[in-house]
Amino acid sequence: MSSDQPFTIHTLELGPMENFVYLVHDHATDRAAVVDPAWDVPAILALADKQGMKITDILLTHSHHDHINGISDVLDRYDAQLHLMKAEAQFWEGCIDMPTQHHGGDTIALGDTPIKTLLTPGHTPGSACYHVGNDLITGDTLFVFGCGRCDLRGGDPEQMYATLNTMAERLPPGTLIRPGHNYAEKTTASMQEQLEGNPFMHFDNSDDFSHYRMHYHDGHRHSPYGPVRKGEEMKS
């Protein structure tokens, strides 16, 4: 991170599913937004205390258990506002009362740090990414050299294909991807690296993408993921 940025993103890897939990720290106010609090809330709170942060916001990329199981414990300590997409609130059967619901494209003001919301369906109907400066926190939408499953309830490979195409078209090549799980040989990657090495970014039609995502990938490719050259997706 460059010193002139108004924020720092702190990363914790927690739990048996190698989840990344992020804390976005606004320097001007010492407010923090925690993204997908889960598994080891004492570790999250200890990091906030060490850095002098107050958690005022909880941002959810989606509502699967491995990304939300620490919400209640965070709320026991902090009077934080919960944020998620409206489509995810409607999908999430156990949705906590009175979250702030977003539609994608709006901005959360964390002190001097703007956090832009992106609606990125595919893994779930209301999956979200959060754009902070040059960083994009992607949850289970986009992994380093991978993407989220579409065979769980609410998943849709055609939506995922459209989402990834939109991200490829609209995000600058230097955007730093911060995924929801540590499934690759590196923890972050630029969008340019994704375009070149993520097999899910290589398909030019949804039928081929859906076949690869739903029927081929998980039986032939295993973490930690490395880059795959375009044209070699079915060789991995």
Q: Give the catalytic positions in this structure.
A: 62, 64, 66-67, 123, 140, 181
Tell me the C-alpha distance between 15 and 100, whole Å: 27
The helix (run of H) or strand (run of E) holding residue 121 is none
| Beta-bridge mates of residue 35 | 22, 59
Instruction: Count the residues in the chain.
Output: 236
Give the Cα-Cα-Cα angle 143, 165, 155 (nearest 5 degrees): 60
147 contacts 136 by C-beta, under 8 angstroms = no
| DSSP reduced 3-state for 82 | strand
Cα separation, 172 vs 109, whole angstroms? 22
